[in-house]
Structure 1
Amino acid sequence: MPRLHFWYEFASTYSYLSAMRIEGCCRARGIDVIWHPFLLGPIFHAQGWETSPFNIYEAKGRYMWCDLERRAAAHGLPPVHRPDPFPQNGLLAARIATIGAEATWAPAFTRAVYSAQFATGACISDAEFLTCLLDSLDQDGPEIVHSAQTDPAVKDGLRKSTETAQSLGLFGAPSFTTDDGELFWGDDRLEEAMGWAARPKT
């Protein structure tokens, strides 16, 4: 089965759109999705940015929120609720998703976090909130959150994922990579990425 690697950062607005639709889109094309949480902070720092470019460039930020609302509506998602502050700290959520990547609940957890953040404005850095969210997914919230906070292997796993993203040339999220090394950036490139992943191999 063809594979598409989905690289996402929990603070990323456009990653929200991709996370909510990628499984259904790929399933319809017979493509397997590999979920990769990572952190944009180190990548932004390498470019000399201390925050999201949507905060650095005011006009770009205004456009992004307008565009996000349009695209969310087009995908049948709830009205966008801008979280405060933006961007949020997604470190703990990313560590939890790193744990979930070894199981079957990472996609459901990821969608739940994005929905809470961008549909209700929830604080996704709050450990108690994430514990309750995991419990609602029939997972052991306290144990998973404790592991995400304390287990060196989990921290190392997320660090390695971020380093791999950098080595692949990722500079933003969402990004999609294929097994033959092609990189596609942005929610509006998901269809193109799926087409590349599913194309006949010669």
Structure 2
Amino acid sequence: MTSGRVTSARIDFYYEFASTYSYLAAARIAALAELAGVEVAWKPFLLGPILAAQGYDTSPFNAYPLKGAHMWRDLERLAAAQRLPPVTRPDPFPVNGLLAARVAVHLNDACRPSFTRAAFSAEFAQGRDIADREVIRQLLAGLGHFSEDVIADAERPENKERLRLQTEEAKARGVFGAPSFVTADGELFWGNDRLELALDHARALARAA
């Protein structure tokens, strides 16, 4: 029996800028969520500390070369299916996405998605180094931001702490990889290919409330 209240459907989208499959998810989540009537909270975090706690000192795709080779081919196929530009592998991989993550955390909810997509596209479609401050500056300027001010604010101690806390939040919610989607009841869905399931679950929760 429902309460009669209207409850908004929502998912938390945890993504890491070094994550290939986060790139795919970021490119398609907005349109799918709008169709499903689900609100998305974009939550950049740092996967490195979480992987380090699992015993990895690099990406699992580097630690297991066969797995890595398959991932790159899979990424090429999926990017083509999503009508994204051909994939360009970053060198080195994984990239250092710390500055991009700090900027994304600093930006408000309305601006965060467009910057996120721009950074992922620069990295995986254009082969640009998003660890380079000038690349981030250009991306922000292209989106109409006062880029130097945004970067300066993103590097303030209080914003660095926001990113650290968001990473700890992800870990506390059971996130172990990216992308991950967490619904209002704490259900965790891992991977770009679980996005539709996460949206369906979030919508079902809202209807049942």
Q: TM-score range by the shorter chain?
A: over 0.9
Counterparts of 1:95-174 in structure 2 under 5 Å?
Answer: 95-100=102-107, 102-149=108-155, 151-174=156-179
What's the TM-score once normalised by structure 2's chain length? 0.94
**Alpha carbons 2:42, 2:109 under 8 Å: kept:** no
Matched residues in 2 for 1:195 and 1:165: separation? 21
- Aligned sequence identity (%): 54
**Cα deviation 1:30-87 (Å, max 9, x = unaligned):** 1111000000011011001001000000000000000000111111111100010000
> How far did 1:104 drift?
1.4
**Residue 147 of structure 1: how far off its partner (Å):** 1.6
For residue 208 of structure 2, give the secondary structure of its aligned residue in structure 1: coil
Figure out how many residues of one structure are paired with residues of the other and give that number. Answer: 200
Match of 1:186 among 186, 191, 202: 191
Report SS of the residue matched to 1:11. Answer: coil
Larger radius of gyration between Structure 1 and Structure 2: 2
**C-alpha distance in 1 between matches for 2:109 and 2:14:** 17
Q: Conserved in 1, the CA contact under 8 Å of 2:137 and 2:147?
A: yes
Q: Secondary structure at the match of 2:12?
A: strand
In the alignment, the residues of structure 1 paired with residue 135 and residue 24 of structure 2 have an alpha-carbon distance, to the nearest angstrom, of 22
Unaligned runs of 5+ residues in structure 2 are: 1-7
Equivalent position to 2:45, from 33, 38, 51: 38
Q: CA deviation at 1:103?
A: 4.2
Task: Give ranges in structure 1 of 5+ residues lacking alignment.
Answer: none
Runs of 4+ aligned structure 1 residues displaced above 3 Å come to none
Question: Helix, strand or coil for the counterpart of 2:128?
Answer: coil
Pairwise CA RMSD of aligned residues? 0.8
What is the TM-score normalised by the length of structure 1?
Answer: 0.97
